[in-house]
Amino acid sequence: MNALRRNVLKSAGMASVVAMAATAGLLKSGSALAAWNASAFDAKSVPDALKGMGAATPAESKDISIKAPDIAENGAVVPVEVTSSIAGTTGIAIFAEKNANPLIADFKMSNGAEGYVSTRIKMGQTAKIRAVVTAGGKTYTAAKEVKVTIGGCGG
């Protein structure tokens, strides 16, 4: 009786170990898209972040529109909408120039996704929001100043 109980416990333990290993493996294979670009996201300035992304000197473009408030009362939640009317847009990156880590997000589009993203970002202080668009192997950029009355990064 007791021996049987031991056996059951033992096999249950083994099974759960195997199951855990399997889920760990699954998680790993699911994240194989592209490694998180730490050098770009940890960069302290926009040029460094651009270097980390492998896009050194983007050209100013009027075909990128950034919709964001002129004055943000709460820097913790600043709505930002970036629309690129450049044909063949495959990437949009968003920066807040004076944040401790300026690179906020890097989007890659494919299979019919339009050159448009909308999200909400944190801003430490009044600064320019910069969008860097990748289209046809070239990079373009545009910026919009947002005044922040209460910063969102200090807590």
Partner 1 sequence: MAEPMKMRASMSGDVADVKVLMNHPMETGLRKDAKTGQLIPAHFINEVTATLNGKPILAAQWGGGISKNPYLGFKVKGAKAGDKVTVSWKDNKGESNTAEAAVS
Name the residues that contact partner 1, by CB under 8 A. 27, 30-31, 33-34, 36-37, 41, 76-79, 81, 96, 99-114, 116-122, 152-155
Neighbours of 83 (CB within 10 A): 18
Q: How far apart are CA 155 and CA 32, in angstroms?
A: 34
Q: Output 7 or 47, the one with its CB closest to partner 1.
A: 47
Smallest separation, CB 46 to partner 1 (Å): 13
Q: Output 16 or 31, the one with its CB closest to partner 1.
A: 31
Q: How far apart are CA 20 and CA 15, in angstroms?
A: 9
Smallest separation, CB 94 to partner 1 (Å): 8
Q: Output 10 or 108, the one with its CB closest to partner 1.
A: 108
Residues 109, 89: contact at Cβ < 8 Å?
A: yes
| Residue 108 dihedral angles phi and psi, to the nearest 5° | -120, 125
